[in-house]
């Protein structure tokens, strides 16, 4: 995605605009299919870039998690978004959900990452795991 498109996509994720996010993902997938067809057929499955990042490395999944936009979060996860992808400071979507005490979003991210996955134990550049972040913020329901 281009810079403006990424910005608009992240803004829609922040606001919980599921319709815009879904449309952007569908449009990008259609464009990729057209490009693939023009190059002479199937060259393997191409994944829609649901993990597009801004200049600081923020993804739609991180923004949705930080703002407790659970419908958008589920849409992105079902579209293949990487729950372990961190930004330039090493903050994953789970770090963001835990920072704000969004327990349901945190649970969805943990479930998507699978048991024992790196996202749960990921450390940001300050050495904090999502559990550290939740506990430091006093979000006991998220810690549990």
CATH code for the domain defined by 3-44+57-143: 1.25.40.20
Alpha helices (H) in the chain, listed in sequence order? 3-15, 18-38, 60-66, 70-78, 93-99, 103-113, 118-121, 130-136, 140-143
Identify whether the C-beta of residue 100 lies closer than 8 Å to the C-beta of residue 64: no
Instruction: Give the pair of three-digit tokens for residue 50.
Output: 């649901």
pLDDT tens profile 46-71: 445 889 999 999 999 999 999 999 99
Q: What is the pLDDT of residues 17-44, one digit of tens each?
A: 999 999 999 988 887 777 777 776 555 4
- Going from N- to C-terminal start, the domains of the chain cover 3-44+57-143
pLDDT of residue 39: 72
pLDDT in tens, 117-140: 677 889 999 999 999 999 999 998
Confidence (pLDDT) at 65: 97
pLDDT digits 0-9 by tens, 70-109:
999 999 999 989 998 999 999 999 999 999 999 999 999 9
pTM equals 0.84
């Amino acid at each position: 995605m281009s810079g403006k498109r990424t910005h608009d996509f992240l803004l829609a994720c922040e606001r919980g605009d599921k319709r815009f996010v879904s449309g952007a993902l569908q449009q990008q997938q259609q464009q990729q299919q057209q490009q693939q067809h023009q190059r002479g057929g199937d060259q393997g499955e191409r994944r829609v870039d649901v993990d597009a990042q801004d200049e600081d490395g923020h993804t739609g999944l991180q923004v949705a998690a930080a703002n407790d936009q659970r419908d958008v979060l589920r849409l992105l996860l079902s579209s293949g978004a990487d729950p372990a992808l961190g930004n330039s400071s090493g903050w994953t979507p789970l770090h963001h959900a835990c920072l704000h005490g969004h327990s349901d979003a945190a649970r969805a991210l943990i479930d998507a990452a699978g048991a024992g996955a790196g996202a749960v134990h990921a450390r940001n550049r300050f050495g904090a795991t999502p559990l550290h972040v939740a506990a430091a913020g006093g979000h006991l329901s998220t810690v549990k």
